[in-house]
Amino acid sequence: MSKDDTKIPYQFSVRTDLAVEARELLDESETSEEPEGIEVSMEELYERRVKVTWVEVYNEAGANAMGKPVGNYITIESDAMKENDTEAHEEIMKILAKRLEKLRKLKKNAVVLVVGLGNWNVTPDALGPKVAAKILVTRHLSGNLPKELEGRVRPVSALSPGVMGLTGIETGEIIKGVAEKIKPDLIIAIDALAARRTNRVNSTIQISDTGINPGAGVGNKRMSLSEQALGVPVIAIGVPTVVDAATLVNDTMDRMLAAMAEQAPQGSEFFNMLGSLANEEKYHLIAEILNPYAGNMFVTPKEVDAVIERLANIIANGINIALHPGIKMEDINRFINA
């Protein structure tokens, strides 16, 4: 394979569900042309070590370059998500809520369905169900709300449909059936994702208005959950909880080759060989070597149990703040735990 064969960035095989990483892959590709149809803005919130990146894909040229549908992708990054830092978590909840409100303006009485995707029996995939369990649901209380909540909350429902391996039913079919019955104005779907960089695992939240493909993070695509498929606008919220083995080895190899290139005399045959390896050549070589031993292996940190609980709390309360702006955080916690 020659270098000229690898200049189409959206054919690159490193697995990632994050738009910010797809944009980074474009920067790292051999092509020198700036892709059209993509706009990136970044905000650094140093007080809580939080970085917010907004990637907008606004035409088909950008969608083809990114390998992502046209739409908006907001990434919130902070190592504090992995730590037991309550103050930082509350700040991230507020940041998440503000970005949700900005991404989708809702009427005061808008009906919202929150869907927790994933397998509750597998910890790295249990983020969605754990978030759904912490949502302040109010649709069933219409007309029977306490006086202190009357007019201050929206009608919200939550659902954890499980995975097809447990139910025998396509997840999208369950959600579509429920949506046709309750007719929500918006669906918010939460799912676990896969990242390219290990430092983004469990420390990144992505919000998008393009919907989601359940199971895509581990190469197990199902029916798309999008406005086109469901007839309802869909906001997807995801956290990368795993990185696939080939991607992990690829990153390690990149660092190793960079260190070796620094030590090799410039102009030497070894130096030229290191520089001639194209990104896609490296990745496919690694995947071939790992298969069948670890070709389908995904890696997650050992402390994933505690981290998933923290992330579920951050995301659920960020959603609660955005959907019920008339009540405070302490009220949300009190009503959920009641």
Domain ranges of the chain: 3-247+295-337
Give the model confidence (pLDDT) of 255-283 as tens digits.
777 777 677 666 667 666 656 666 666 66
Q: Report the 10 Å Cβ neighbour count for 331.
A: 17
Confidence (pLDDT) at 300: 84
The answer for 169, left when phi > 0, alpha when psi is -120 to 50, beta otherwise, is beta
Output 125 or 14, whichever has higher pLDDT.
125
Q: If we measure between CA atoms, which residue out of 194, 159, 201 comes closest to residue 178?
A: 159
At a CB cut-off of 8 Å and minimum separation 6, what does 28 contact?
279
pLDDT score of 6 more than 50? no
pLDDT tier for residue 334 given thresholds of 50, 70 and 90: low
pLDDT score of 156 more than 60? yes
Q: What is the mean pLDDT of the chain?
A: 82
Confidence (pLDDT) at 153: 84
At a CB cut-off of 8 Å and minimum separation 6, what does 1 contact?
278, 280, 281
Q: If we measure between CA atoms, which residue out of 8, 79, 24, 20 comes closest to residue 208?
A: 20
Q: What is the pTM of this model?
A: 0.82
The answer for 145, left when phi > 0, alpha when psi is -120 to 50, beta otherwise, is beta
Query: Which superfamily is assigned to 3-247+295-337 in CATH?
Result: HybD-like (3.40.50.1450)
Output 22 or 1, whichever has higher pLDDT.
22
Rounded CA separation 280/296 (Å)? 18
pLDDT tier for residue 112 given thresholds of 50, 70 and 90: very high
Confidence (pLDDT) at 196: 84
Lowest mean pLDDT among 10-19, 205-214, 300-309: 10-19
Lowest mean pLDDT among 7-11, 151-155, 281-285, 322-326: 7-11
Strand partners, 156: 112
SS3 (DSSP) at 184: coil
DSSP 61-74: HHHHHHTS-SEEEE
Confidence (pLDDT) at 295: 53
Q: What value does the mean pLDDT take over residues 213-230?
A: 73
Rounded CA separation 8/65 (Å)? 8
The answer for 235, left when phi > 0, alpha when psi is -120 to 50, beta otherwise, is beta
Confidence (pLDDT) at 278: 60
- Helix then strand then coil, % of the chain, to nearest 5: 45, 20, 35
Output 228 or 247, whichever has higher pLDDT.
228
Confidence (pLDDT) at 29: 67
Rounded CA separation 205/192 (Å)? 10
Give the model confidence (pLDDT) of 63-82 as tens digits.
988 889 999 999 999 999 99
Highest mean pLDDT among 20-24, 53-57, 326-330: 53-57
Q: What value does the mean pLDDT take over residues 227-250?
A: 88
Highest mean pLDDT among 144-158, 190-204, 247-261: 190-204
